[in-house]
Amino acid sequence: ELKVEQNPLFLSMQEGKNYTIYCNYSTTSDRLYWYRQDPGKSLESLFVLLSNGAVKQEGRLMASLDTKARLSTLHITAAVHDLSATYFCAVDMNNAGNMLTFGGGTRLMVKP
Amino acid sequence: DAGITQSPRHKVTETGTPVTLRCHQTENHRYMYWYRQDPGHGLRLIHYSYGVKDTDKGEVSDGYSVSRSKTEDFLLTLESATSSQTSVYFCAISGVVGTGANTGELFFGEGSRLTVL
């Protein structure tokens, strides 16, 4: 059974600081996804990582994938309040692009 | 934004009653999914479909059935709702139209909040 674990589960940080969210998974997969969810809203796709060593950046967020370590990171640079949300990683169970298993989410609060 | 519409968006029902949630897409994507979201559990896959009349079970399929008679519609049915099925249900789609690789990226609907009393 594929397990996807995120840590921390909750993160409170000051504006301007840097931090990293970790996503570990338990089985071989070359595909990993990051999503953002605002309270009471749907999930928005942030990054699609499809190979070992993949790195994607958008604004203050950067995601990377190490398939050998079964680890993905979401790095936040100089956080701003607008980044406050819950972030989910998801792993493709069979590398076929049709079944994702989600982590439990990391709730991020950025304080002024 | 992906054209995904869920209905109803909110529903309150009583234990033992049947409930059907509808997901409608205008993107002509091959894959459609139903997830449920509960505090502390992230999103868990209930059922998914890989084409018209082609469906399969996910991680938490007990108590749920699905049907897909047209590419654009994917229905989730709770034959006899229980309080443990109180949740937020998300429909998602993925795939490409025509040729090309499916990256597996999911696009989500707005969610349906179901309360079973």
β-strand pairing of A10-14 with A106-111: parallel
Of B48, B58, B108, the CB nearest to A43: B108
Q: For residue A23, which phi and psi values (nearest 5 degrees)?
A: -135, 110
Contacts of A80 (CB under 8 A, 6+ apart): A15, A60, A110
- Nearest-10 Cα torsion for A88, A91, A96, A99: -60
Token digits for A60? 């203050």
Average the pLDDT over B16-29 and give the result.
95
Compute the average pLDDT of residues B42-53: 93
Among A42, A11, A27, A14, residue whose Cα is nearest residue A100: A27
Distance of residue A7 Cα from the nearest chain B Cα, in angstroms: 13
**CA-to-CA distance for B96 and A9, rounded, in angstroms?**
33
Q: What pLDDT shows up at residue B45?
A: 94
Would you state the pLDDT for residue B110? Answer: 97
pLDDT of residue A59: 96
Could you tell me the pLDDT band of residue B2, with boundaries at 50, 70 and 90?
low
Nearest to A104 among B42, B101, B106 (CB): B42
> What's the pLDDT score for residue A29?
86
- Convert the pLDDT of each residue in B50-106 to its tens digit: 899 999 999 999 999 999 999 999 999 999 999 999 999 999 998 765 555 667 889
Least Cα separation, residue B57 to chain A (angstroms): 11
What span, in angstroms and rounded, lies between the C-alpha atoms of A86 and A71?
A: 19
Q: Does A101 touch chain B (CB under 8 A)?
A: yes
Q: Nearest chain A Cα to B51, which residue?
A: A98
Q: Which residue has the tokens 């594929």?
A: A2
| pLDDT reading at B41 higher than 90 | no
Q: How far apart are CA A63 and CA A60, in angstroms?
A: 10
Task: Please tell me which residue, B31 or B102, carries the higher pLDDT value.
Answer: B31
What three-state secondary structure class fits B58? Answer: coil
Q: What is the mean pLDDT of chain B?
A: 92
Distances (CA, A) of B14 to A36, B19, B38, B89: 32, 10, 19, 17
Look at residue A105 in the predicted model and tell me its pLDDT.
96
CB contact under 8 A, B43 and A96: no
State what percent of residues in chain B have pLDDT above 70: 92
Tell me, yes or no, if A102 comes closer than 8 A to chain B by beta carbon: yes
Subunit contact B102:A105, Cβ cutoff 8 A: no
pLDDT of residue B100: 57
Q: How many residues does chain B have?
A: 117
Residue of A7, A43, A88 to mutate when probing chain B, most B C-beta within 10 A:
A43
* Interchain contact B105–A (C-beta under 8 A): yes
Nearest CB partner across the interface for B102, out of A33, A98, A105: A98
Q: Which residue has the tokens 């953002």?
A: A36
Q: Across the 112 residues of chain A, what is the mean pLDDT of every consecutive 10-residue run? A: 92 95 92 95 94 94 96 97 97 77 95 90
Contact A33 B45 (CB under 8 A): no
Rounded to the nearest angstrom, the minimum Cα separation between B6 and chain A is 11
Q: What distance in Å separates the CA atoms of residue B63 and residue B82, rounded to the nearest whole number?
A: 9
> If you average pLDDT over residues B16-44, what whole number do you get?
93
- Provide the pLDDT for residue B36: 98
Look up residue A14 and give its two tokens. Answer: 């000051």
Which structure tokens are listed for B61?
């399929």
Q: Residues B64, B74: contact at Cβ < 8 Å? A: no
